[in-house]
Amino acid sequence: MFKVLVLQHLFNLNDDQTEFQIRARYSFCRFLGLSPEGKVPDAKTVWVYRKRLRERGLVDKLFSELLIRIDAAGFSARKGQIVDAAIAPVPRQRNTRGEGW
């Protein structure tokens, strides 16, 4: 479940988006050790897990340790964004040559 929070943090996802992206992206499933057909944690489960970690004061400690280990391995963690690149139909402009197209 901590890996889910890592994905959320790195890709700036809310709980619902996280659930969707885990279902939609094979790379996320692979990172989490899930099969595409397997069970995916839902948004409520992610929220409850994060809440419990916060109540125990562990979120910052865990992420600090993770960043230390990533740096020690010679890597750097960068935040990114997932952009929806869906193609949407748009109305065609029906101007004639005389109307100034």
pLDDT digits 0-9 by tens, 29-38: 999 999 878 8
What gap in Å lies between CA 21 and CA 92, rounded to an integer?
A: 32
pLDDT tens for each residue of 40-65: 999 999 999 999 999 999 999 999 99
Closest of 56, 23, 61 to residue 39, by C-alpha: 23
What gap in Å lies between CA 77 and CA 58, rounded to an integer?
A: 20
